[in-house]
Amino acid sequence: MTRFVRRLQRIGSSILVSLPKEWVDANNLDKSSQVELETGQDSISISANKETRPTKELVISYPLPKEENIVANITGAYLLGYDVIEINSKSIIPGKDREEIRNSMRRLVGMEIIEEDASHINMQFLLDATTLNPSKILKRMSSISLGMYDDVLTGLISDDKSNLQTLSKRDVEVNRQYFLLVRLIRSTLVDTKLANAFNLENIDVLDYRIAANVLENAGDSIVELSNFIYNFSLPKEFSKKIYDVVQDFNKLAEKSIDAFTKPDRLLAIEAISMHKQYENKLSLLRTTLGSKKQIPLDFLDLIYMFERIAQSWADVADLVQPIYNE
């Protein structure tokens, strides 16, 4: 066994190490080849992975047609599971477009620029898909969104609403996890090995795609709600009435996600039942405040927004398949 010493290098947010040329040549590897890593407590071994799927590569010729957009092209390629995306130009790529490309990388988990010159940009997906977990990504989307929701509730009854202006930035992370999950579950449709690793059937993949979309929209709805509360002033008595009803929503949402990711139909039934009770409580607010003329329109709008957000997690619970007797 030959020993080599290599110095670690940082590129973007990733730590890289070069492989010995002799070993690379002996195993017929190239810059887009995949290797298999096995880690110990204080060690790591690298082996040529002969069974992995071929690396998907895409070359984008620059400049694009006028009707096309470079960021949309990169995002689309990422979601389609391309591992290597190269942008080639016969002339210098303008600084403005380079900045757009770099900004797009911040939205795509695992994608990094590894080579760049005046007329060429090479991006690669540096994560091993088999080490990712769709259920954990979905739970992370839900957890971030519910954290935003908690801050909205604080802003609903607090005099200091400044924190509400920061929620759109946190929603960016929900979108990042959403793109990663969509990429991952799409890849399982064409990679049997990956599907087996996640123990997902085609119907499960479809359900994950729907659940991811629902939670991504929920994050957007929470940002919309935060903006509404920040810009409109509702009498404290009305704000408190809504707060008392919606403050325990997280329990419903967490049970919905648990039911989906396990999956557990009995948990889903509990979550659906809790959601109906939650809806009934919000509906009662409309009918227990006397004449409609006495109810501020902002109050009714807020109730609708909270209902719409809750429906997102209820929809996830509804995806859990019923139990049929054979």
Query: pLDDT value at position 178?
Result: 97
What is the C-alpha separation between 318 and 312, in angstroms, rounded?
Answer: 10
Helices (H), 121-166: 134-157
**CA dist., res. 148 & res. 139, Å (int):** 14
115 vs 289: which has the higher pLDDT: 115
Asked whether the predicted pLDDT for residue 153 surpasses 70, the reply is yes
Find the Cα–Cα–Cα–Cα dihedral 315, 319, 325, 326, rounded to 10°.
150
Measured from the Cβ of residue 94, the count of other Cβ atoms closer than 10 Å reads 12
- pLDDT of 50 > 60? The answer is no
For the segment(s) 130-318, the CATH number from 1.20.1290.10, 1.10.287.1080, 1.20.58.220, 1.10.10.10 is 1.20.58.220
For the chain, percent of residues with pLDDT exceeding 70: 93
Q: Any idea how long the chain is?
A: 326
Low-confidence winner among 66-70, 77-81, 190-194, 288-292 (lowest mean pLDDT):
288-292
Sequence ranges of the domains in the chain: 9-48, 57-127, 130-318
Output the CA torsion 18→21→25→29 (10° steps): 10
pLDDT in tens, 208-266: 999 999 999 999 999 999 999 999 888 888 899 999 999 999 999 999 999 999 999 99
Look over the chain and give the mean of its residue pLDDT values, rounded to a whole number: 88
Q: What is the dihedral of CA 227, 231, 234, 240, to 10 degrees?
A: 40
The top-scoring range by mean pLDDT among 13-17, 141-145, 199-203, 285-289 is 141-145
CA distances from 322 to 56, 298, 317 (A): 37, 39, 11
Instruction: Report whether 130 contacts 136 (CB < 8 A).
Output: no
User: Could you tell me the two tokens for 59?
Assistant: 């070359």
pLDDT value of residue 293: 60
The number of C-alpha atoms within 13 Å of 292 and in the hemisphere containing its C-beta is: 1
pLDDT tens profile 275-287: 999 999 999 988 7
pLDDT at 116 over 70: yes
Give the domain 57-127 fold.
Translation Initiation Factor IF3 (3.30.110)
- Give me the pLDDT at residue 195, please: 82
